[in-house]
Amino acid sequence: MLGLVAGFTGLVEGATGSFISPKIDVHALAPEIVLLVVAIAVLLIDLFIDETRKFLVNTIAGFGVIASAIPLVTLALEGSDRSMFNGAYVVDDFSLVMKAVFIIAGYLTLLMSANYLQEGDYHEGEFSFLIVCSLLGMVVMASARDLITIFVALETLSIPAYLLAGWKKRNRKSNEASVKYYLLGVIASAVMLYGMSFIYGVTGETVLVNIGAKIGDSGNANGLTAVGIFLVIVGFAFKVSAVPFHQWAPDTYEGAPTPVTAFLSVASKAAGFVALMELVFVAFFPRADVYGPIFWVLAVLTMTVGNVVALRQTNIVRMLAYSSVAQAGFILVPFAAVAEKQEAAVTAQRSIVTYLIIYTLMNLGAFAMVIAVARKTNSGEIDSYAGLFHYAPGLTVVMTIFLFSLAGIPPFGGWFAKFTVFNTALDGGGPWSVSLAAIAAVNAVIGATYYLKIMREMWMKPSPDGSTRIIVPPSLQLALGLCAVSVLAIGLFPGLITQFSEVARLFR
Amino acid sequence: MNLNDWALSLITFLPLVVAALVIAVPKADEDLQKLIALVGSLIPLGLVVWVLANFDYDRSGELQFSVNRGWIDLINSRFHIGIEGIGLPMLVLSCLIIPLCIVYSWNHFPDPHNPKAFLALMLLLETGMNGTFISQDLILFFVFFELVLLPMYFMIGVWGGPNRQYASLKFFLYTMFGSAFMLLGFLALYFKAGRTFDIAQLMTNVETAGISTNTQRLIFAGLFLGFAIKVPMFPFHTWLPDAHTEAPTQGSVILAAVLLKLGTYGFIKIAIPILPEGARFWAPVIGVLAAIGILYGALGCLAQTDFKRLIAFSSVAHMGYVMLGISTLTTYGINAAVFGMVAHGFITGMLFFCAGSLKERFHTLEINRMGGLLKTMPKLGWVLGFASMASLGLPGLAGFWGEFPAILSAYKPHPSLNESLFRVFMVVAAVGTVFAAGYLLWLYQRTAFGEPKAEWAGHEFHDVSTEEWIAWAPMLIAIVVLGIFPALLFGITDGAVTNLVDHVTKVLGS
C-alpha cells in the first residue's frame, strides 16, 4: 500500500521532471509497518490455529495494535517533524496525536468484539484482520498531506469497513447495511475524486501545501476551484455522515454488528474529520468564501436534524447513530467559525482535536454498554433498559457517565468538548459564528433530551421480573473501565488532553 | 497543612469523598451509611463555622481564604476559590441544610428507599452548591453550577411523586437551556475582555477594554437567561412548581433553600459586577419581571389546592422580592436581597419540611383534606404557623428583613435608573405582601384551624418526632435570631455589597 503511495507520488514527479527514488524513513513509518505486519500475521495465524482457540486471534491483534503505538511514543520523544515524498506524507505532532486516537479506538473496538464474536457465530480471524487493515488506512490518513495519499488512505480504511458492516452473514439487516454503506461510500469517493481532479486541474498540484499556496488566487479559474472544493467537501460529508449526506448511517449502524458500528461511528468518522482538517486548514485555507458557507449550512443541518430525529428513536443503536450525526455537527462548527476569522485557525484545530479525542472515548463507551446490556436482554430497544439500575447498578452508573458526557454535562469529559466548540465559535466572533454558537447551544439542550430518555428508563422505570445480574466478560469490562475513567478524568482535569490538542496543529 | 488554604477546598470536596465512602458500604448496612453521611456532612459544617470564626468582617468585601492554582492552562481558567461577604452566608446555609436533611431522612427515606444512593446524591449536591459559592473563576463556577443538576435530577426522577419523570426532565432541560447561553456569555467575556475567566480581573478588564455598550448588553442577556431560569424569574418559572411538587421532601428543601439562590447569587456575584452597563440596561426589565413575579406568584398561590405547589408558587413571589432588590443596584436593595435569600432558605425550607411531614401523616397534600391540625398534631401545627408567619414577613422574624428593605429600596433606586418606574414596582411589591399574608393565612386556616376532617376520624397521628425536632430546631432558631438581630447578617454582607455598588457606580458614572 505504501508502495502505492510512493508510486502515485512518483508518477506526479515523473510528469514534471526526472524520477528520483523517494527516501523511506523507516522510523517515521514504523506504526504503519507494525500494523501491516500485525494484519498479515493475524490472517496467517487464523489459517493455522485450532477452531477452539480462535479467540486468541483477537487477543494477538489487540496486542499488535498496542505495539504499533510504541513507535508513536519514540517519535514523539524524538520530536522533530518528518516529511517524505515531497511533503505528501508528514509525521508531525498532529499526525502522532491522531494516530494515537485511531489506535486507541481500534484497540477498544477489538476489546469490545472479543466475546461478541465468540458467542455470535462470526468469522473471528478475518474480523480482526479487517479491523487492523482499516486501522492502517486511518493511521495513514493522519499523515497524508497529498490528495492522492488521502484518497488511498480513505479507500484503505473504507473497504474493510464495507465488509465488516455485513459481518452478520445470515442477517438481512446486516446485508442491507453493508450494501448501503458500500454503494453510498463509493458514490462519495467518486464525487470526491471528481472534485480533486478540478483542484489538480487548476493548481497543477496534489501536495496540499502547494495547493494552499496557489488556490487563493487562481485567476479566472476561481469558479472551477470553488466547484472542486465543494465536491471534495461533499465527499467527506458522506464519510462523517453530515446531513443531508447521512442517510446511510442509521441503517448501516443498526444492521452492522455493534462493535463495527462503534468503530464506524468513532474511528471512521474521526478519519473523515482528519482528512477534512488537512484539506481545509492546509489546502483550501485561503478560500474561506467557498468552504465557510458550506460548513455553516452543514453544521446547522447536521446538528439540528441529527438531534431532532434522534428524539423519535426507540432503538438505542439507531438513537446513538443519530446522536453521532448530531455530534458530527458540533465538530463541523469550528470549520465554519474559522472561515469568518482566519486567526481562529489555532483554536479551531485545537477544538476539533479535543472533540475527536473525547468523542472517541465516550461514544465507544456507550457502545460498549450497549453490547454489555444486549448480552442479557438480546435487544436494542430503549425500553429494554427499564430498571437497569435495580439489577445492574454498576453498569447503570457507567452508562450514566457516558450519556451525561455525550450530553455535555460537567464534570464528564463531554462538557469540555462542547466548551471548546463554543470557544472557537466565539473566537470567530462575527455574526455568523455567534449565531452558529447559539444554534449549537439550543442543540445541546435538544440532545440532552434523548440521552435523558435512556436515563429515565434505567433509573426510574421498574425492572422486569426475574432480572438477574449481567455478567460482563473481562475484555468488555476493560473497555468500559478505560472509557469511563478517562471520560471522568478528562472532565475534571481537561489539562490531561489539552497538552495533546495544543500541539496537534497543521502547518501551512 | 495550612487550614487557611485548605478550608474551602475541604468544605467543597469532602462531601464528595464521603459520598464515595457511603457507596462503598454494603447495601444492607443502612445504619453505617447514615452515620458516615451524617458525620461526613457535619465536618464541612464544622469547617464553615471555623471559617465564620476566622473571617475578617472588616474586610468582608475582599476575598478571603482564597486559593489560586492552575487548572486548565490552555484557556487560562484557574482553580481560583475564595469567599467574601456575599458568598459566605450562602455557604453557611448550604453546609447547614445538608446535615439537617440527612437527620430528617433518618427514618423517612422516600420510596424506593435505597438510602445509600439517596445520601450519596445529597452529598454530591453539597459539593456542587458549595463549589458554586466559592468559585472565583467563571469556568469553575460553570462546572459546579452544572454539577448541581445531576443529583437533583435523580432525586426528583427516582424518589419523586407520581409525575416525577416529567418534572425531572423539565427541571433538567430548563436549567440546561439557560446555562448553555450563560456559557456563551462567559466565552464572549473571555474573548472581549482580555482572555481570562477570573471574575475580579474581568471586572477591571471590562471597565478598561472599551467593549461596545451593545455587546455588553447582549452578553448580559446571555447571563440573564442562565441565572433567571435558575432563580426562577417570572416567565421562566414553570419548571419550579412541577419540580417542587414531585420532588421528595429533602429535595424540595434543598431546592428551595439553596439551589434557587445559585441564580440570584450569579446575578450579584457575576452578572452585575462584571457588566454594570448591561445591568443598568436590563435592570428595568428585571424589575418588571420581579414585580410581575411577586403578583403572579401570590395569585398563583391563591389558586392552588396542593400544599407543596402552593409553597412553590410562594417561592416565585419571594424570589421576586429578591430580584427587585437586586434590580435597584443599590447597597440597600442588594443587602436586602442577600438577606432575603438566606431568610427564604430557612423559611421556605421549613415550610417544605412541614409539607413533607404532613404528607407522611396524611398521605396526601390536598389542602382541603387537612384541617384541625392544632387539635390532632398541635406541635406540628404550631411549627407550621410559625413558618407561615415568618414567610409572610412578620416583623421580628427573618422574612421581614428580606422583604421590607427590598420594597423600600425600590423607592430610591440607583441614580442611573428611572426613579418613577421603580416606585411603581415598589407599590406592586407592597400590594404583593398583602396577598402573601392572604394566601398564607388562608392556608393556615384551612390546615390548622377547625375540626379534623371526618375521613380522619379515629385516626391516630404522631406529632413531631425527635429527628424532626433535631432537623428543624436550627432552622427555627435561625429564623428568630436573624429576625431579632438582622445586623448579624447585614454585618457580613454590607462590606461586600458596598464594594460592588461602588464599582457599579464608578463604571456607570465614568
- The residue with cell 416565585 is B316
Residue B484 contacts residue B405 (beta carbons within 8 Å): no
In a 13 Å sphere around the CA of A162, the CA atoms on its Cβ side amount to: 14
Residue A154 contacts residue A3 (beta carbons within 8 Å): no
Residue A241 contacts residue A269 (beta carbons within 8 Å): yes
CB–CB of A422 and B183 under 8 A?
yes
Q: Which of B75, B173, B190 sits opposite A445 (nearest CB)?
A: B173
CB–CB of B73 and A429 under 8 A?
no
Q: Does residue A415 belong to the interface with chain B, where contact is any CB pair within 8 Å?
A: yes
Q: How confident is the model at residue A17 (pLDDT cuts 50, 70, 90)?
A: low
**Alpha-carbon distance A498 to A404, whole Å?**
21
- The residue with cell 417544605 is B352
Q: Which of B147, B153, B157 sits opposite A410 (nearest CB)?
A: B147
Q: Which of A410, A419, A495 sits opposite B73 (nearest CB)?
A: A495
Nearest to A344 by CA among A437, A206, A237: A437
Nearest-by-CA chain A residue for B145:
A410
CB–CB of A460 and B177 under 8 A?
no
Calculate the CA B183 to chain-centre distance. Answer: 21
When pLDDT is averaged across residues A402-407 and rounded to a whole number, the result is: 94
**Alpha-carbon distance B385 to B440, whole Å?**
9
- The residue with cell 487492523 is A132
Question: Which pLDDT tens digit goes with each residue over B205-256?
Answer: 888 888 888 889 999 999 999 999 998 898 899 999 999 999 999 999 999 9
Calculate the CA A318 to chain-centre distance. Answer: 17
- The region, left, alpha or beta by phi > 0 then psi within -120 to 50, assigned to residue A429 is left
* Phi then psi dihedrals of residue B198, to 5 deg: -75, 125
CB–CB of A444 and B180 under 8 A?
yes
Calculate the CA B365 to chain-centre distance. Answer: 23
CB–CB of B181 and A437 under 8 A?
no
CB–CB of A442 and B172 under 8 A?
no
- In the predicted model, is pLDDT for residue B510 greater than 70? no
Q: Does residue A394 belong to the interface with chain B, where contact is any CB pair within 8 Å?
A: no
Residue B357 contacts residue B464 (beta carbons within 8 Å): yes
Residues on chain A touching B144 (C-beta within 8 angstroms): 410
When pLDDT is averaged across residues A325-337 and rounded to a whole number, the result is: 93
* Cα end-to-end distance, chain A, whole Å: 26
Kindly list the residues of chain B whose beta carbon comes within 8 Å of any beta carbon in chain A.
70-75, 139, 142-144, 146-147, 149-150, 153-154, 157-158, 164-165, 168-169, 172-173, 176-177, 180-181, 183-184, 187-188, 190-191
**Alpha-carbon distance B455 to B439, whole Å?**
25
In this prediction the pTM is 0.92
**Alpha-carbon distance B30 to A278, whole Å?**
57
Residue A89 contacts residue A61 (beta carbons within 8 Å): no
When pLDDT is averaged across residues A258-277 and rounded to a whole number, the result is: 93
Nearest to B129 by CA among B73, B90, B167: B90
- In the predicted model, is pLDDT for residue A428 greater than 90? no
Predicted pLDDT of residue A1:
46
Predicted pLDDT of residue A12:
52
ipTM over 0.95: no
Nearest CA distance, A422 vs chain B (angstrom): 7
Question: Which pLDDT tens digit goes with each residue over B420-474?
Answer: 999 999 999 999 999 999 999 999 998 888 888 778 777 788 888 888 999 999 9
Lowest-confidence range among A139-143, A386-390, A490-494, B455-459? Answer: B455-459
Predicted pLDDT of residue A218:
65
How big is the CA angle at B248 (ends B247 and B254), to the nearest 5 degrees?
80
Predicted pLDDT of residue A8:
53
- The residue with cell 472565583 is B136
Q: What is the mean pLDDT of chain B?
A: 91
Does a cis peptide bond (omega within 30 degrees of 0) precede residue A244?
A: yes
Question: Which pLDDT tens digit goes with each residue over A80-130?
Answer: 888 888 888 999 999 999 999 999 999 999 999 888 877 777 787 888 999
Listed in sequence order, the residues at least 6 apart from A294 whose beta carbon sits closer than 8 Å to its beta carbon are A229, A230, A233
CB–CB of A423 and B187 under 8 A?
yes
CB–CB of B180 and A442 under 8 A?
yes
* Phi then psi dihedrals of residue B364, to 5 deg: -155, 160
- In the predicted model, is pLDDT for residue A345 greater than 80? yes
Strand bridging mode A89-91 / B64-72: unpaired
User: Can you name the residues that pair with A90 across neighbouring β-strands?
Assistant: A83
Q: Which of the 8 DSSP states describes residue B269?
A: I
B373 to each of A394, B361, B448, B463, how far by Cα in Å?
A: 45, 11, 4, 10
CB–CB of A426 and B191 under 8 A?
yes
Nearest-by-CA chain B residue for A451:
B169
* Phi then psi dihedrals of residue B194, to 5 deg: 80, 25
Optimal mutation site among B75, B113, B155, B211, interface A, most CBs of chain A within 10 A: B75
